[in-house]
Amino acid sequence: MLRILLLSWNYPPVLGGIEYMVQNLFVRFRSLGHAPRLLTAHAPDAPAEPDVQRCPRRGLARFVLFCLTMGFGICRRWKPQVIYCGTVVTAPPALLLKWFFGIPFVVLVHGSDVLRPGWFYQFCVRWLLRRADRVIANSDPTRLSLLERGVNPDRVAVIHPGVRVEDFLHEPASPPPPAVVEAAGRRVLLTVGRLIRRKGVLEFVERVMPALAAEFPDVLLLIVGDDAKASLVHSERMRDTIAAKVQQLNLSAQVRLLGSVDQETLLHLFFAADVFVMPCLDIPGDVEGFGIVLLEAALAQTPCVATRTGGIPQAVQENVTGIVVAPGDWEAMRAEVAGLLHDESHCRQMGQAGRERALRSFSWDAIAAEHLRLLSACCIGDGH
Residue 242 confidence (pLDDT)? 94
Secondary structure (DSSP) of 109-166: E-SHHHH---HHHHHHHHHHHTT-SEEEESSHHHHHHHHHTT--GGGEEE----B-GG
On the question of pLDDT at 371 being above 70, the answer is: yes
Q: How are the residues of the chain apportioned to helix, strand and coil, as percentages rounded to the nearest 5?
A: 45, 15, 35
Task: Identify the architecture of domain 3-162+363-379 in CATH.
Answer: 3-Layer(aba) Sandwich (3.40)
Q: What's the pLDDT band for 11 if we cut at 50, 70, 90? A: very high
**pLDDT-derived band of residue 381, with 50, 70 and 90 as boundaries?**
very low
Looking at every residue in the chain, the average pLDDT score rounds to 91
State the pLDDT at residue 233. 54
pLDDT band at 383 (very low <50, low <70, confident <90, very high): very low
pLDDT value, residue 380: 56
- Domain 165-361 CATH assignment equals 3.40.50.2000: yes
Q: Which of 163, 176, 207, 175 is nearest to 328 (CA)?
A: 207
Asked whether the beta carbons of 289 and 138 are under 8 A apart, the reply is yes
3-state secondary structure of 3: strand
**What is the pTM assigned to this prediction?**
0.80
DSSP 197: G
Question: Average pLDDT, stretch 173-193?
Answer: 92
pLDDT value, residue 258: 94
Condensed to tens digits (0 to 9), the pLDDT of residues 87-126 reads 999 999 999 999 999 999 999 998 878 888 889 999 999 9
Cα 210 from Cα 207, distance rounded (Å): 7
Q: Looking at the predicted structure, is the pLDDT value of residue 80 above 90?
A: yes
Question: Which pLDDT does position 229 carry in this prediction?
Answer: 61
Q: pLDDT exceeding 90 applies to what percent of the chain? A: 70
105 and 83 Cβ atoms separated by less than 8 Å: yes
Long-range CB contacts (< 8 A, 24+ apart) of 87-91? 87/8, 87/9, 87/10, 87/18, 87/113, 88/113, 88/114, 88/125, 88/128, 88/129, 89/9, 89/60, 89/64, 89/113, 89/232, 90/7, 90/8, 90/9, 90/64, 91/128, 91/129, 91/132
223 has which bridge partners?
A: 191, 257
Cα 366 to its chain centre, rounded Å, is 17
List where CATH 3.40.50.2000 sits in the chain: 3-162+363-379, 165-361
Task: Please tell me whether residue 235 adopts helix, strand or coil conformation.
Answer: coil
The pLDDT confidence band at residue 254, using thresholds 50, 70 and 90, is very high
Q: Is the pLDDT of residue 382 over 50?
A: no
Q: Strand pairing partners for 222?
A: 190, 256
